[in-house]
Amino acid sequence: MRVKASGICGTNVHVYEGEVPLAKLPVIPGHEFAGEIVKVGTGLKGFKPGDRVAIEPNLFCGKCHFCRTARKYFCENWMAVGLSIDGGFAELCRVPEPALYRMPDKLTFTQAAFFEPAACVLHGIERANLLSGESVLVFGAGSIGLLYIQILKRRGASKVILAEIDPTKRDFAKQFNPDLILDPKAVDFKGKVKEATGGYGPDIVFDAAGSVQVLQTAVEVVQTGGRIIVFGVPPENAQWPLHPFEIYRREISLIGSFTNPYTNEVALQLLPSLQVDAIVSARINVDQVVEYIQRLQAGKERKVQIVF
């Protein structure tokens, strides 16, 4: 396929830093991308040259215990486009047929490059078992947090509260219309969260920051009987001094959310209605990748896309 737009995300930063064992450089990174098919392999019947496609990067064997028990995202032979095989940081990319999803006509290539993260966010919301009318708190106003705000609104959350320490990000997030934006470092943060939720705390807390401190705060503010979704990627060796009695006594559910196993079709249909282009802080040429990965490392960019 000819790549038209390819997103740079936190995983790519970790690949650059050598922290992703699956990604053995010099593999070409890039797993959030979309483009146009230019040639198909022998026997491929479902797609043809000229088709506009978005990529679901996860590849599954279909034979292991987890694949055979409807948990393919834990595949024992899992591979991924842009990690274990070459990905979308190139003008042309060879992609296995299972990774191809036909784009709706109204979807642009830059929007379709949000296909994979939007599907991951949808999986997180499914893991939370969000019910219409429930209140939610989202930690982090990066690209994932901004997707969460928009999709949670569409899925029936009654109140979406955003917690973000960076004042510039807080100001930027206003255009996505969360019901309340708070600084989690503020002395009165917990009080304001409780006040905004009838004194009880949010029904669900989503960690889109990958921070141990966020998880500790989430336990302190979530409503009794509520759910905490561990979505952001914490450091692999991080430790969390959890108090089991509090989890037991308040019946708090701690729920992990990993990748996007069965939410791809919904994500493609939902993307045209989301403000995803507004999330992008820079669109670059492929020869600027290293420079902008370093800018992401330094916190100077929100979301970067390579366009061809």
pLDDT tens digits for range 138-175: 999 999 999 999 999 999 999 999 999 999 999 999 99
Taking the C-alpha atoms of residue 86 and residue 80, their distance in angstroms, rounded to an integer, is: 9
| Phi, psi angle pair for 92, to nearest 5° | -125, 145
Q: What's the pLDDT band for 17 if we cut at 50, 70, 90?
A: confident
Region of poorest pLDDT, from 9-13, 134-138, 201-205, 277-281: 9-13
70 token code pair? 């409807």
What number is the average pLDDT over the span 55-73? Answer: 96
Residues 6+ apart with CB under 8 A from 92: 1, 2, 3, 38
Tell whether the model's pLDDT for residue 132 goes beyond 90: yes
β strands within 19-85, DSSP E? 32-36, 52-55, 58-59, 79-80
What number is the average pLDDT over the span 5-12? Answer: 93
Q: Which residues are 74's β-sheet partners?
A: none
Taking the C-alpha atoms of residue 302 and residue 211, their distance in angstroms, rounded to an integer, is: 18
Q: What's the pLDDT band for 14 if we cut at 50, 70, 90?
A: confident
96 preceded by a cis bond (ω within 30 of 0): no
What number is the average pLDDT over the span 107-117? Answer: 97
State the sign of the Cα–Cα–Cα–Cα dihedral 128, 133, 139, 140: positive
Tell whether the model's pLDDT for residue 196 goes beyond 90: yes
Q: What per-residue confidence (pLDDT) applies to 48?
A: 96
- The four Cα atoms 145, 54, 8, 218 give a dihedral, to 10 degrees, of 20
- Do 222 and 146 touch, CB atoms closer than 8 A? no
What number is the average pLDDT over the span 196-210? Answer: 97
Largest CA distance in the chain: 63
Q: What per-residue confidence (pLDDT) applies to 150?
A: 98
- Do 178 and 149 touch, CB atoms closer than 8 A? yes
What number is the average pLDDT over the span 166-188? Answer: 97
Q: What's the pLDDT band for 233 if we cut at 50, 70, 90?
A: confident
- Do 252 and 222 touch, CB atoms closer than 8 A? yes
What number is the average pLDDT over the span 81-103? Answer: 96
Region of poorest pLDDT, from 12-16, 120-124, 182-186, 246-250: 12-16
Taking the C-alpha atoms of residue 208 and residue 217, their distance in angstroms, rounded to an integer, is: 13
pLDDT, greater one: 45 or 126: 126
Tell whether the model's pLDDT for residue 305 goes beyond 90: yes
Q: What per-residue confidence (pLDDT) applies to 147?
A: 98
What number is the average pLDDT over the span 27-31? Answer: 95
Closest CA to 285 of 82, 97, 90, 151: 90
Q: What's the pLDDT band for 238 if we cut at 50, 70, 90?
A: confident
What number is the average pLDDT over the span 82-111? Answer: 96
Q: What per-residue confidence (pLDDT) applies to 261?
A: 87
- Domains, the chain, in order of start with CATH, read 2-114+276-307 (3.90.180.10), 119-256 (3.40.50.720)
When the pLDDT of each residue in the chain is averaged and rounded to a whole number, the result is 95
- Percent of the chain predicted with pLDDT > 70: 100
What number is the average pLDDT over the span 111-130? Answer: 97
Q: What per-residue confidence (pLDDT) applies to 63?
A: 97
Residues 6+ apart with CB under 8 A from 203: 131, 134, 135, 136, 197, 222, 223, 226, 227
- DSSP reduced 3-state for 124: helix
* Length of the chain counted residue by residue: 308
Tell whether the model's pLDDT for residue 25 goes beyond 90: no
Residue type, 242: L
244 token code pair? 């089991």
Q: What per-residue confidence (pLDDT) applies to 21?
A: 79
Q: What per-residue confidence (pLDDT) applies to 78?
A: 94
Q: What per-residue confidence (pLDDT) applies to 18?
A: 84
Q: Report the side by side order of strands in the sheet with 52-55.
A: 100-102, 52-55, 32-36, 2-8, 304-307, 282-284
Give burial (CB, 10 Å; 0-12/13-18/19+) of 248. exposed
